[in-house]
Structure 1
């Protein structure tokens, strides 16, 4: 799929190598080595020219290939989003009609006694928090040539500035730990597989819930824990189910953000 990109890169490398090799043989021939070195230089120069002409062609073909790949990914994503939204609408209609989902058998996560899983899907995961920031100022005393002293002071100041910037970035609250995760929705909680560990989020601990099926995302706030964001093409089904678990049928029927799923 990336054949033209690899050929473009290869032709550029061949052009560069043959160019410098030709220069080396020209230098050898000028030092008195004679005709063989000049012939080698001419041969390498020809290879360099051919590679120089081929590189733009391969570059154009690589750009076209990349554009087709991006378009294919866009079409696949749009299809996945439509499918996810349709599944969310079907689940909402089922629950509003008084229907129930069949429990799933899930492997990996161990459920509690009498706990049942109803959804098992992939989603993108993030948490909103800031880290504890630490900053250590470094001072230096320099002796010797004035130029060396000035360079030492400048490097120390630069190092301190980098550490201050890193400390500010660590302290800033933002969405962190972003990754793709497996999400299991049970009748009691959401279970997410993050960095090889299962993390549990009980519906009863949710203090605020922000479902957005149009943007295929949901944010959960908790008492004493960092907010959780889940997003991706399959989110409409999860939004429908978690709304049902958190707000009941009234939430499915009346929540303004769920209008597109009704």
Structure 2
């Protein structure tokens, strides 16, 4: 819980607000009404301490943020290490030929004989471009020369902006980025994309690029655009899918899996 950031924000607001208030009050003369002079004096007494408290609270808030950031990084490191160790244990079990305990799956209907072995949340993305098009606008402007010139210029600017936006949309990049649930079976990955279950079968994979150290994997398919999954649980998925696609030979020899062996 952050203690000093609210104090810093409050003190900074007093500093800025008091300064803006004192600008007109600073011109108050000695013969001004008593109430107005009292307000000016009170504003000064409130504003002056903020000159001292704002930098103090700022330093305290900065130190607090650094401690919080360090704590988050330490927690993330623990989660990443735990995920990697889970991947190593699964790799060892698969290399030893140990049977995996199937998961009971409810809600998703599996194919006959299909077994689920992993179920976890992770980050998801797809790589593709779009066939974006823009609508070219023309206009007829009647009036003074300045009005016509301004209308033509604005129309050209609008067309240019729409054309640039269409080009940006057409560029291939990672899209549909989402944090979702992945159900891993002996035949496919089943991802809950936008509230709908979508399947990616291993027998349609044409290439895949596992990176256990980066906790990510990219699949290429013969019938779909590339899929990327990334997150702390990915080392286990990498071990499992490598085994499903390349067998024990892949677990033993794939160069990207050296850290899991």
TM-score relative to the length of structure 1: 0.90
Q: CA deviation at 1:255?
A: 1.6
Kept after mapping to 1: 8 A contact 2:204/2:223: no
* Residue equivalent to 2:2: 2
Superposed displacement of residue 108, structure 1: 4.0
**Unmatched 5+ stretches in structure 2:** none
TM-superposed deviation, 1:202: 1.0
For residues 146 and 66 of structure 1, the distance between their equivalents in structure 2, rounded to whole angstroms, comes to 58
1:230 equivalent in alignment to 2:215:
no
| Residues 18 and 149 (structure 1), Cα distance of their counterparts in 2 relative to 1, 3 Å cut | farther
**Post-superposition offset of 1:62:** 1.9
The within-5 A match list for 1:122-133 is 122-133=121-132
CA shift in 2, pair 1:17/1:199, >3 Å = same
Q: For residue 219 of structure 1, report the CA deviation from its aligned partner.
A: 0.7
Match of 1:47 in 2: 46
Residues in 2 aligned to 1:180 and 1:153: alpha-carbon distance in whole angstroms: 45
Q: Distance in 1 between matches of 2:30 and 2:107?
A: 73
Farther off after superposition, 3-12 or 203-212:
3-12
Query: Cα distance 1:148–1:40, how it changes in 2: closer, same or farther (>3 A)?
Result: farther
Contact kept in structure 2, 1:221 and 1:227, CA below 8 Å = yes
| Cα offsets for 1:129-171 (capped at 9, x unmatched) | 0122111122334444555544444433332222122101110
- How does the TM-score come out when normalised to structure 2? 0.90
Q: How does 1:56-95 map to 2 (within 5 A)?
A: 56-95=55-94
Number of aligned residues:
261
* Counterparts of 1:6 and 1:195, CA distance in 2: 37
Give the match's secondary structure for 2:135. coil
Say which is worse superposed, 33-42 or 218-227, in terms of deviation: 33-42
